Chain A
């Protein structure tokens, strides 16, 4: 069994509006048989945190186009994207790209 892990989630660039306008969330992911990865985290967020309109956040298994995911201050592409295994105290940021000016 993998022990429960505490992680820090942040939403920005307007993505926080899908979470009642709250930018920062400290959450604990429950213990489960395998280690948590980002793919499972997205499902967990959808079921536990998302307040409205999931299609504006997730699309299929992943985030919708236009949302950048950062794992410990690095683009998730550098970290293995959906397969990245979450560690205790990780900082995961979901940022909606801005287009205005």
Chain B
């Protein structure tokens, strides 16, 4: 992969970073600095975009600005945060424009400059960035990065924008979508608790679900907890009394639902009546993929 990338970068005069994750951005930066190529870098998330030309005309590189990678838990990828195609299109066009300007011997406007595009407020802003840093580990006066490294371990995250899969629960605390489907088909009394934020619930949800966002469980929102209490009591009346009410928790991909299960287990027998809580592995997207192809994917 590194040999491939180095060869690749050497074959071209200008590099455009259109990647979608942190390790790749460091990797491409270092490859450009080591081979002396300008890097036209654009990124986008939600309704915002950023554009800078790194390692150009004596200006700073990506590491001059960001010597330390961001903690992985602070990085929002496009599949979690969402991004509007038009925003990516605008940034891609601006990026292509800078590539053409450099290729045709004109100066790029974004060396040591950061262009910020806020699509919500329709605002473009240009910011003067710091100069190339003498202490930069790759482009500075005494570089310590002289060949490509392991960028995934440097950043503590995978070179992908796929969502991280949490594994917080034991196998007994989880059910697959197939198992949940058979619980529904058998008419087994249970509660289905959807813990996604309202904006996602409004896109699509399973009709029988009750909705309490994870944030409300974390904050112990009194209205929402009372609502859950009522639902549990209602169901309890329909069941034989010695059984605990089973609660299945669902979210988009099966990460937040695990956190919710942990919170609900703490509340079981204290704030709430005793319940049996499980999460649905892979969430609604697994439901859409394996059980109901007509369920919207987002």
Are A78 and B130 in contact, with the CB atoms below 8 A? yes
Flag whether B19 is at the interface (Cβ < 8 A). Answer: yes
**Interface SS, B side:** mixed
Which residues of B from 54 to 87 have beta carbons under 8 Å from A?
65-71, 73-78, 81, 83
Are B81 and A97 in contact, with the CB atoms below 8 A? no
Residue-wise, chain A 1-23 has the 8 Å CB interface mask toward B (1 for contact) of: 00000000000111000000000
Are B74 and A99 in contact, with the CB atoms below 8 A? no
Nearest chain A residue, comparing its CB with the CB of B161? A100
Residue-wise, chain B 25-64 has the 8 Å CB interface mask toward A (1 for contact) of: 1000000000000000011111011100000000000000
Are B75 and A66 in contact, with the CB atoms below 8 A? yes
Q: Which residues of A contact B43 (CB under 8 A)?
A: 97-101
Flag whether A25 is at the interface (Cβ < 8 A). Answer: no
- Among B42, B127, B130, contact of A73 (Cβ-Cβ < 8 Å): B127
Q: Which residues of A contact B81 (CB under 8 A)?
A: 14, 100
Q: How far is the CA of A73 from the CA of B44 in the complex (A)?
A: 20
Interface residues in A, total, Cβ within 8 A = 21
Number of A-B contacts (CB under 8 A): 90
Are B45 and A98 in contact, with the CB atoms below 8 A? yes
**A98 vs chain B, min Cβ distance (A):** 4
Are B71 and A75 in contact, with the CB atoms below 8 A? no
Nearest chain A residue, comparing its CB with the CB of B133? A77
Are B128 and A66 in contact, with the CB atoms below 8 A? no
Q: Which residues of B contact A95 (CB under 8 A)?
A: 116
- Among B44, B67, B125, B131, contact of A101 (Cβ-Cβ < 8 Å): B44
Q: How far is the CA of A64 from the CA of B44 in the complex (A)?
A: 20
- Among B42, B45, B66, contact of A65 (Cβ-Cβ < 8 Å): B66
Q: How far is the CA of A33 from the CA of B200 in the complex (A)?
A: 49
Are B114 and A68 in contact, with the CB atoms below 8 A? yes
Q: Which residues of A contact B69 (CB under 8 A)?
A: 65-66
Nearest chain A residue, comparing its CB with the CB of B92? A101
If A56-B74, A101-B18 touch, whether A73 touches B65 (CB-CB below 8 Å) is: no
Q: How far is the CA of A68 from the CA of B78 in the complex (A)?
A: 20
- Among A56, A64, A97, A101, contact of B19 (Cβ-Cβ < 8 Å): A101
Q: How far is the CA of A65 from the CA of B66 in the complex (A)?
A: 7
Flag whether B249 is at the interface (Cβ < 8 A). Answer: no
- Among A13, A65, A70, contact of B50 (Cβ-Cβ < 8 Å): A13
Which residues of A from 77 to 101 have beta carbons under 8 Å from B?
77-78, 95-101
Q: How far is the CA of A78 from the CA of B65 in the complex (A)?
A: 12
Q: Which residues of A contact B18 (CB under 8 A)?
A: 101
**A16 vs chain B, min Cβ distance (A):** 10
Q: Which residues of B contact A66 (CB under 8 A)?
A: 66, 69-71, 74-75
Q: Which residues of B contact A41 (CB under 8 A)?
A: none
Closest 4 CB pairs of A and B: A66-B70, A77-B130, A100-B78, A65-B68
Contacts A/B (CB < 8 Å), 22 sampled: A14-B46, A14-B81, A56-B74, A64-B70, A64-B71, A65-B69, A68-B114, A73-B126, A74-B127, A75-B114, A75-B129, A75-B130, A78-B131, A95-B116, A98-B45, A98-B48, A99-B20, A99-B21, A100-B21, A100-B76, A100-B161, A101-B88
**Which chain B residues have a beta carbon within 8 Å of chain A's beta carbons?**
17-22, 25, 42-46, 48-50, 65-71, 73-78, 81, 83, 88, 91, 114, 116, 118, 125-131, 161
